[in-house]
Structure 1
């Protein structure tokens, strides 16, 4: 294993970790090698006890100071003058980590549709390799939302006493048929694109636009659309919500690729903490860290009951709730509530 590149962006360091060992994935397939793009902010204490590891959601990246700016930064909850903050791009994502457009070292060509199936367990494994590379013996806090929360929970199960606090936001311990159904509908939209199956980066681009529009209906709540996308004049066509969904689809397709989206949505479907571990409740009962599960009262995709299930079944679990009209996306928007919840959690008994 070796460090491929390093460069500075203000107080942030962005690097690429290269694992040159072949890893066997949960599917039985393997990756001959992989890369993980990651950022760090701040410095480790001599005791190395100030690590905060943040995991991004489906189409996020390692630049956590951009997409969670309300929580990360100087004088904020996760302060790089006090914490050593790590955020790594998830395996399969197209923001610097190994993904379907990466070169397969065995063929010298991009993987494209031959990229192996990933699970959230595989993603946690990749982060564990990175943790070892960084020489981090123990993590103070792991926090992730949505897909990032799923991976965080998997990782916390494996880390045991090596992580003190685990915060799971708007996520679950096992993906529900409801969420899998939304993901399948999005993949069907990608499949319907006539370019799907072609070997180039823009394959499935229009399908991805439609997929994102479907996704947006699950990320938000009907109250959100009623408040911000309701037409004020009487009309029979060209509704405001239609323009909004098309815009969101185009916006994503210009920054993401359909194959990565496909791969990550499949990994989300695979999430089941209890697989081969005696069931979900039993697996949760074996997590050693303090666990804070945060639900959103209007979340249609990862329901608050799923967060409550996590809190109920881990030995050191607690539940808090975000009140919001923004649905699932509230975990990226309601920074003041999250700040308050996390500060209250840190004040609780640490024994």
Structure 2
């Protein structure tokens, strides 16, 4: 069941803007033990929510790396999201109307500061393991640099320490698709819907990559004029529009592009050297968003880190699909004191 934490004070953003109020939606699984040393925090990606069981199948289960019988698993919905934490569809107390496109710009560091506020409110000091995949990994690496003594173990899956020009270009292309929708900017929840569908279709090309599409979307001889790849793109765009909104998607993409753990810290190399957590880096063999080569570079820059790789035909989305491989890698790292 989703829960809410209301900060009760203005929340100053890194961009210089201020949110008059901050609400954070979150889920927990299991129980925080008496020693308060069994917390495992999951940072979610893009359009996911705080309910890890919903978007990350076969992870929050007995015997898995997120085991509620052993751990207190926490996931907080990110700032700007559609799923409960303060975002563009929330009412601006200063105007009495939803923010929509006027929601102030924010950064990955703002997302992490919101996580930290929630962790404090929940009485979590030391975090046993901090887990982040994709842009959830952006948050996780930023948190490990910001509060190195708080994080005992760090699992970074298909992610990076800085948004690359490639990933920023992909995000900008999606924003262009949303901006091309003439309804984007109108004061209604479903504004920019067609643009959002197109943006999602663009994003999916990078999430799955050619191997994933060629494996699953081949046409049949019986219907030569019906292209499975075409209907798949249309379906995925419509599917997101049924559960998300263009204003949150646009704002979050912009926040992702601010990711740079080295900003104001002497560069990425100096920032990553601050990490004290025992760190596991997981790459995906066919990922074209965060390539295995980039993941190995991240491994080389983080002290005491190890590198493992998932073999998958599903590209970046392999972290959502290859749950057996992922559990084999993450379960001993999180649960075995000797690892």
TM range (shorter): over 0.9
Question: Does 2:107 correspond to 1:105?
Answer: no
Mapping 1:194-205, distance limit 5 Å: 194-205=182-193
Deviates more, 1:234-243 or 1:158-167: 234-243
Question: Does 2:229 correspond to 1:241?
Answer: yes
1: CA distance between counterparts of 2:6 and 2:284? Answer: 37
User: Which of the numbers 1, 25, 32 marks the counterpart of 2:13?
Assistant: 25
Contact residue 219 and residue 226 of structure 2 kept, 8 A? no
Mapping 1:67-82, distance limit 5 Å: 67-82=55-70
Normalised to the residue count of structure 1, the TM-score between the two structures is: 0.93
After TM superposition, what 4+ stretches of structure 1 lie above 2 angstroms from structure 2? 74-77, 234-238, 343-350
User: Which of the numbers 245, 254, 257 marks the counterpart of 2:242?
Assistant: 254
Tell me the equivalent position of 2:119: 131
Tell me the equivalent position of 1:228: 216
Indicate how the Cα distance of structure 1 residues 314 and 348 shifts in structure 2: closer, same or farther if over 3 A, else same.
farther
Question: Does 2:73 correspond to 1:85?
Answer: yes
Tell me the equivalent position of 1:118: 106
Mapping 1:1-351, distance limit 5 Å: 9=1, 14-233=2-221, 237-346=225-334, 347=336, 349=338
Q: What is the Cα-based RMSD across aligned positions, in Å?
A: 1.4
Contact residue 137 and residue 157 of structure 2 kept, 8 A? yes
Tell me the equivalent position of 1:5: none
2: CA distance between counterparts of 1:348 and 1:141? Answer: 12
2: CA distance between counterparts of 1:277 and 1:75? Answer: 39
1: CA distance between counterparts of 2:331 and 2:129? Answer: 13
**Structure 1, unaligned runs of 5 or more:** 1-8
**SS of residue in 1 equivalent to 2:42:** strand
**SS of residue in 2 equivalent to 1:220:** helix
Normalised to the residue count of structure 2, the TM-score between the two structures is: 0.96
Contact residue 173 and residue 306 of structure 1 kept, 8 A? no
**SS of residue in 2 equivalent to 1:336:** helix
1: CA distance between counterparts of 2:338 and 2:38? Answer: 18
Alpha-carbon distance, 1:234 to partner = 7.9
2: CA distance between counterparts of 1:20 and 1:108? Answer: 18
Contact residue 296 and residue 323 of structure 1 kept, 8 A? yes
Contact residue 43 and residue 80 of structure 1 kept, 8 A? yes
Alpha-carbon distance, 1:75 to partner = 3.1
2: CA distance between counterparts of 1:310 and 1:131? Answer: 26
**SS of residue in 1 equivalent to 2:79:** coil
**SS of residue in 2 equivalent to 1:221:** helix
2: CA distance between counterparts of 1:232 and 1:137? Answer: 56
